[in-house]
Amino acid sequence: MKKRFPLSNYGIGWSANRRILVIAAILASLLTLAGVTAHVAGRNGQHHSSAGPTPPSPASSAPSSEEPGAETGSVPRPPRISDPLAFAKAIAQMLWSYDTRDTSREQQLAGMEARMTKESEYSDWASVSAQMPDPTLWSRMADQRQHATATITEAHYPAAFKQALAEDPSAITEAYIYAVTVTGKQTIAWAKGGGGAEDRSITLAVQCRPSADCSLVAIAPNVVP
């Protein structure tokens, strides 16, 4: 079987400065609880439980139509969603889906960047763009007409995030940045009938200010349970 190149397998970096800003914005200890520090520090910049507190979410809104634009190829336009869990699911689906048959690497990157927060003090584009294969690898994928779709299973707030929120509920109101872990399955296919499927998990930092659509802040270097 030919080697697969899912987008989610490429090195994810989270720069030290950006990580500090994001952590301070979410909660003082967001990524230092429950062993999360070991996940993050080691990389230097990767079932929704009813137990524990639920972070306050802005009023939810239904996603708008996500018709692709010419500048982003087959990548859908950013969804208009104000619920952190629903938005994180949409982001994971986008990250795990691609089509090299009609979308260039630049278009894929543009589609990803369109989902980023416009608040530069929080945005960690490096951790998101690191998901992409390099130009040479993307070209090889295109030669094989490789494409992938994703099925999302669930999304939940990590235990460390809920614990930190319980200790300081008002901290979320500083930047309204939520940590969300999403799981699902990526199905990959390429020329001459090749294909396969793999389980996927990812932890995202998403910003959902009240009365505003959510946006992506960063991708954690490790999956946070």
Place of tokens 């080697």: 3
Over 50: is that where the pLDDT of 51 sits?
no
DSSP 116: B
Residue 55: pLDDT band (50, 70, 90) is low
Q: Which residue(s) pair with 198 in the sheet?
A: 186
pLDDT tens for 75-94 read: 888 889 999 999 999 999 99
**What confidence category does residue 192 fall into, taking pLDDT thresholds of 50, 70 and 90?**
confident
Mean pLDDT of 165-184: 91
Residue 81: the pLDDT is 95
Q: How far apart are CA 127 and CA 210, in angstroms?
A: 25
CA nearest to 98, candidates 114, 80, 112, 115: 112
Work out the average pLDDT over 92-108.
96
Comparison of pLDDT for 41 and 140, the residue scoring more: 140
Least confident of 3-17, 35-49, 120-134, 156-170: 35-49
- Cα 10 → chain centroid: 13
From CA 2, how far away is CA 193, in angstroms rounded?
11
Q: What is the pLDDT of residue 45?
A: 37
Is 38 exposed, middle or buried (CB count within 10 Å of its CB: 0-12, 13-18, 19+)? exposed
* 3-class state of residue 22 by DSSP: helix
Q: Could you say which DSSP state residue 41 is in? A: H
* Mean pLDDT score, 205-209: 95
Distance CA 55, CA 162 (A): 7
Are 103 and 148 in contact, with CB atoms under 8 Å apart?
A: no
Give residue for tokens 């390429």. 190
Q: Over range 54-82, report the average pLDDT.
A: 63
Give pTM, 2 decimals. 0.74
Determine the pLDDT at residue 163.
Answer: 87
